[in-house]
Structure formats: structure tokens, C-alpha cells
Amino acid sequence: MASKAAYKRLSKEYVAMQKEPPPFVWAAPDEKNILTWNYIIRGPPDSPFAGGEYHGVLLFPSEYPFKPPGIKMITPSGRFQPDKKICFSMSDFHPGSWNPAWSVATILTGLLSFMLSDEMTTGSVTSTDAEKRAYAARSHSWNLQQKRFKEAFPEYCTPAVRDLPNMAQKERGVSPAPATTSSPSPAPPAQTPSQAPPAQPAAAATSEKAVSRSPNGMNSPGDHAAQGWAAGLRQVIWEKWRWGVILALALVVSRMSSE
């Protein structure tokens, strides 16, 4: 049974795995026991494991993160003995070298790196690159026949091998494939009267819709400016002319009265 510290830590790491999965790796805890995690490692394209799909388990102690997990790879790979514990620096074979700051992502990234090396250890096997490629080619069909794989990763039980969330597209300079499904975007929150933008004045709205014509028949904002300026000038001249006529008439009447 997981301790409170282990449960809290592993729950946090599952959230982190979903947000930022490491390249070629995916993992999730067992629904009934958070101390048991199933993982998938995909073979990098520039390795003898290219195209391979490798299922395994991480067996965490109740004292995690203060003690390291046991690590197994179940899918035959030509690198590790199927369903046997693997000895490397992040496994329970080496509790003295364990660092509590390491996480599920760190462990599986280290396991992938170790898998790509030629170092022999407890749980490893010797095979040629050709044999590793042969194991990789039939790894997915092998996984589909395994009850543990089907229960742990039903979404990966497809006729063709499926990419993990992170296939190192960025690192390899490859554009990620478009998502086949997408969730609808959340609707924007309704605006309250205090949040709503002020209504535009009628004059401003009208001016935005007003249209003038350029010589080629298209609308031009420059023509609006010219027409407005000419109209203003005519208004000024008319006002001055009207007052001039009134003053002249007043002067004539004043002279006739004085005579």
C-alpha cells in the first residue's frame, strides 16, 4: 500500500507526464494500485529498435520517492530478458545511487538511454542489430496478444502501431502530425454590464459605414476627407457673405435715415 508521500508524489508525476511527456516514452499508473505503472517505449528512428513498441512496468516501493523502483520490460526486444528485473543505476538494484529528485519521466528516459547502449547487466541479453530490428517489427502484434497490455493501454490496441504523445518531432525537426480529434474550444464567459464595452456613438458607427468613391470606382477614405473639407469651406464663405450683406444693408438704411 502506498504511503501518503508516495501517493502524493506519484499523482503529481502522472499530471506532469500528461503535460510534458518525454520523447518516445509514455506511462500511467494502474487503476487499482498507484505503485504499479505500465509504460511504453517507442524505438527511436535512428536505432535498431526503430518502429518498435516496448511495454514494461515500474514497481514502486511504498517508501517512494526515497527508494527506487523495480523495472521490467515485458515485450521481447533483443536487449532485455522479458518480464525480468533490469539492473541499472535508477533501479532497485542500486538504492545507494538513487536520487529522490528523479521522477517517472527521468527513470524512463534513463531506461531508454540504457536500452540504446551496449552495456551488459543483470536482465540484459545479447543480440545483433538485425535481431533487434526483427523484434521491433513484430513487437506491436506481440503486444496485442497480451492481456496486460490490452488492459493497460486499450487506446494503443489499434491495427497499426500508434505514435506516443511525444515522438521527438521538435528534436528531429519534424512537424507533428495534425490531431485526428479535437475538443471544442470553450465558449467565452458571458459579459456582465460592467464588463461590456461601451456602445459606439451613432455618428461614429455611421462614419465607419460611410463610403466614398475614388476615380476608379472604388471607395477611398481620401475622398471623404476632401469632400468634408470642401463642404466646410463653403459653409464658412456662406456665413461671411450673409453677414456682409446684412452689414451693407444696415449701413444703407442708416445713411438714408440720417438724410
In the chain, where are the structural domains located? 4-172, 223-259
**pLDDT, tens digit (0-9, with 9 covering 90-100), for 57-106:** 999 999 999 999 999 999 999 999 999 999 999 999 999 999 999 999 99
Assess contact for 59 and 67: CB atoms under 8 A.
Answer: no
Cβ-Cβ contacts under 8 Å for 56 (sequence gap 6 or more): 38, 39, 41, 71, 72, 73, 74, 75, 111
Instruction: Give pTM, 2 decimals.
Output: 0.67
Q: Please state the φ and ψ torsions of residue 74, each to the nearest 5 degrees.
A: -90, -40
Confidence tier at 243 by pLDDT (50, 70, 90): low
**pLDDT, tens digit (0-9, with 9 covering 90-100), for 29-51:** 999 999 999 999 999 999 999 99
Let me know if domain 4-172 sits in CATH 3.90.960.10. Answer: no
Helix (H, G, I), strand (E, B) or coil at 224: helix
Q: Residue 12 corresponds to which cell in the numbers above?
A: 503529481
Is 87 catalytic? The answer is yes
180: pLDDT strictly greater than 90: no
Query: Could you give the percent of the chain with pLDDT greater than 70?
Result: 66
Annotated catalytic residue, options 28, 50, 59, 87 = 87
Confidence tier at 175 by pLDDT (50, 70, 90): low
